[in-house]
């Protein structure tokens, strides 16, 4: 009976530890504060990345007042991808330049992914495992 209780207690502790949230720190660098607007950090699972902002699991927007800003989230995810937008006109979307294809505002992605000729980065290249994001992340915004 004692052995059974020890096994059950150990199993319960394993389950409880897997459900504990992990702190995700995202340091956003290279913010052009002269452009005004907001910096938005979005944390995604595979669904919706990177275009559908409504499917972001976490979303935080703050006025762009400093060239470096830190955002902290409590996540229960094993794998995730991050998109950072310098939303100059505060409309919550990526404003495109005259081509209608390329962004006019600053963007940054996890795993140092960038907008390319084929469009925005794919989830499979931007995703990070828990081990990769536990120590915190630096994402630099790139402007056109």
Q: What does the CA dihedral 84, 87, 93, 97 come to, rounded to 10 degrees?
A: -100
Q: What is the model's pLDDT at position 4? A: 55
Q: Residue range 86-92: average pLDDT?
A: 97
R_g over Cα of the chain: 18
Its pTM stands at 0.85
* pLDDT band, residue 6 (cuts 50/70/90): low
Q: Do 28 and 69 meet the contact criterion of CB atoms below 8 Å apart? A: yes
Q: Is residue 3 in a domain? A: no
Structural domain count, the chain? 1
Q: Is residue 31 part of a domain?
A: yes
Beta bridge mates, 128: 80
Residue 132 maps to a domain: yes
Range of the domain at 67: 21-140
């Amino acid at each position: 009976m004692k052995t059974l209780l020890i096994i059950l207690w150990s199993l319960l502790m394993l389950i409880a530890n897997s459900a504990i949230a992990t702190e995700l720190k995202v340091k956003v660098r290279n913010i052009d504060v002269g452009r005004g607007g907001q910096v938005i950090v979005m944390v995604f699972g595979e669904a919706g990345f990177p275009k559908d902002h409504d499917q972001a699991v976490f979303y935080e927007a703050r006025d762009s007042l400093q060239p470096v800003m830190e955002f902290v989230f409590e996540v229960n995810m094993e794998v995730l991808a991050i998109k950072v937008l310098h939303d100059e006109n505060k409309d919550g979307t990526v404003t495109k330049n005259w081509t209608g294809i390329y962004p006019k505002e600053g963007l940054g992605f996890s795993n140092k992914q960038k907008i390319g000729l084929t469009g925005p980065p794919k989830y499979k290249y931007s995703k990070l495992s828990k081990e990769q994001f536990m120590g915190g992340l630096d994402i630099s915004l790139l402007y056109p």
